[in-house]
Amino acid sequence: MPANTDRNLKLHLCACIAGALFAAQPAPADIGKFPERPLRMIVPLAPGGGSDIVARMVAAPLSDRWGQPVVVDNRPGAGSTVGTGLAAKAAPDGYTVMVSSSSMAISPALHPKLDFDMRRDFAPVTLLASQPSVLAVHPSVKAQNVRELVALAKAQPGKLAYGSAGVGSATHLGSELFRVNAQLDLLHVPYKSAGLATAAAISGEVQILLTNMASALPQVKAGRLRGLGVTSSKRSSLASAMPTVAEAGVPGFEYATWYGMVVPAATPAALVAQLHAGTLAVLNTPAMRERMQGQGLEIHGTSRQEFGKYLSAELSRWQQVVKAAGIEPQ
């Protein structure tokens, strides 16, 4: 057989084999028809918390928009790492998303031996919303503003205590960020929940509390706590008379609990784009804005790239805070 005929036969045979292999692969999903079945929205924290509330606020209108159920699946445990690990290993088919809070950036700083990596194993969809906190004190504390609190704490190192929702919680890390930025020596008293920490501050068991606006403002208005500043970079429309902590005495301080949506990293970009477009559509409605504001939340609805950069920066920031605060990784 001539050499060129033999070569052509081999090429033809290879082409046939390749074609057969390709034909044996499952046909790709018709992205134009997405979604065709229910979606699972993993929340790696307990029902009733901020992440759960935000997830359910978004899931209901997404279900209406897509004509498919969006089922919130709470998977709490080990500081959100159980549910996050589950989401990381989910099929990257667009039918599993995760909605979580700042904990997705904080937990890796506290648990360095996780079996997932937020940068490697997830693709960002969007930053959904954020909620600033309020720095508050018990009314008996002789400080009417942030500067006076800083001066008082420096005059009594190790005497003033702040309460948190537990070691490694967002309230713990946020309070430590304040302590480090203000260069203070404060006593940390961890509780089993944010509610118990708030109750301790109201009773005077601890003198200082950093907690979300939805929890703090009713107590401030009732006179049970004294609000000294909001932790966002600008004043909140919900408490416009209250200065930011940065403008009131701790320059550069900024802290907020944020909520974002991510998917497994290998999810096709076209599906991520559809998830992003659908989510932004339900966020950008007057009804959603009213509901979010009622919870003390500010809607963001960022691009995928913006959220990716923000998440990466937050992962780095909380690594630095944990190190500066001397918190032992678990």
CA distance 328 to 2: 74
Q: What is the mean pLDDT of residues 84-111?
A: 95
Residue showing tokens 């089993």: 192
Whether the pLDDT of residue 145 is over 90: the answer is yes
Whether the pLDDT of residue 211 is over 80: the answer is yes
- Residue 195 has φ and ψ, to the nearest 5°, of -65, -40
Amino acid identity at 186: L
β-bridge pairing 226-230 and 122-137: antiparallel
Whether the pLDDT of residue 19 is over 90: the answer is no
Same fold, 35-129+256-325 and 132-239: yes
Q: Which residues, at least 6 apart from 175, have a Cβ–Cβ distance to it below 8 Å?
A: 162, 164, 186, 188, 208, 210
What is the third-level CATH fold of 35-129+256-325?
D-Maltodextrin-Binding Protein; domain 2 (3.40.190)
Work out the number of other CB atoms within 10 angstroms of the CB of residue 241: 6
- Residue 92 tokens read as 């990257």
Domain ranges of the chain: 35-129+256-325, 132-239
% of residues, the chain, pLDDT over 90: 76
CA torsion, points 52, 239, 224, 49, in degrees to nearest 10? 0
CA distance 85 to 81: 6
CA distance 206 to 225: 11
CATH assignment of 132-239, among 3.90.1570.10, 3.40.1800.10, 3.40.190.10, 3.20.20.150: 3.40.190.10
Q: 8-45 burial string, b = 16+ CB within 10 Å, else e?
A: eeeeeeeeeeeeeeeeeeeeebeeeebbeeebbbbbbb
Are residues 84 and 100 in contact, defined by beta-carbon separation less than 8 angstroms?
Answer: yes
pLDDT, the chain, mean = 90
CA distance 211 to 189: 14
Burial of 328 (0-12, 13-18, 19+ CB in 10 A): exposed
Q: Is 237 helix (H, G, I), strand (E, B) or coil?
A: helix
Residue 9 pLDDT: 38
Give 1's pLDDT tier (boundaries 50, 70, 90): very low
Whether the pLDDT of residue 37 is over 90: the answer is yes
CA distance 243 to 221: 16
pLDDT digits (tens, 9 = 90+) for 197-209: 999 999 999 999 9
| Least confident residue range of 24-28, 153-157, 174-178, 184-188 | 24-28
CA distance 122 to 205: 41
Residue 168 pLDDT: 82
At CA 164, angle to CA 160 and CA 167, rounded to 5? Answer: 110
Are residues 70 and 38 in contact, defined by beta-carbon separation less than 8 angstroms?
Answer: yes
CA distance 246 to 137: 17
**Which has the closest alpha carbon to 213: 168, 256, 166, 261?**
256
